[in-house]
């Protein structure tokens, strides 16, 4: 091989290696972002479920407190 061919091959190998390295870094970052989004979606789903359960509990407590029997018991206790 001639000297210029060797120089060309060395430069080509370096450029290709650099480009491949950048593509690999971007791919890894993309996968990490995807995992975070999946985790956030699962976390949001769980939080929405907990909120629904808490709303149901608050509704039951409101019914108990607004019930006339509960208010009468509270009046007796205060006497």
Q: CB–CB of 64/70 below 8 Å? A: yes
In the block, which residue shows the tokens 């450029």?
15
pLDDT digits (tens, 9 = 90+) for 19-61: 999 999 999 999 988 888 877 777 788 888 999 999 999 998 8
pTM of the prediction? 0.47
Please give the residue that has the higher pLDDT: either 33 or 1: 33
User: Which two structure tokens, joined as six digits, stand for 49?
Assistant: 């479920």
Q: Is residue 71 scored above 80 in pLDDT?
A: no
**pLDDT confidence of residue 54:** 94
Cα-based angle 58, 40, 48 (whole degrees, multiple of 5):
15
């Amino acid at each position: 091989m001639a000297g210029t061919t060797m120089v060309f091959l060395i430069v080509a190998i370096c450029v290709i290696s650099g480009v491949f390295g950048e593509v690999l870094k971007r791919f890894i970052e993309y996968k990490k972002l995807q995992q975070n989004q999946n985790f956030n979606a699962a976390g949001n789903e769980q939080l929405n479920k907990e909120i629904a359960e808490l709303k149901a509990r608050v509704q039951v407590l409101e019914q108990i407190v607004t019930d006339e029997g509960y208010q009468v018991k509270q009046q007796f206790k205060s006497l």
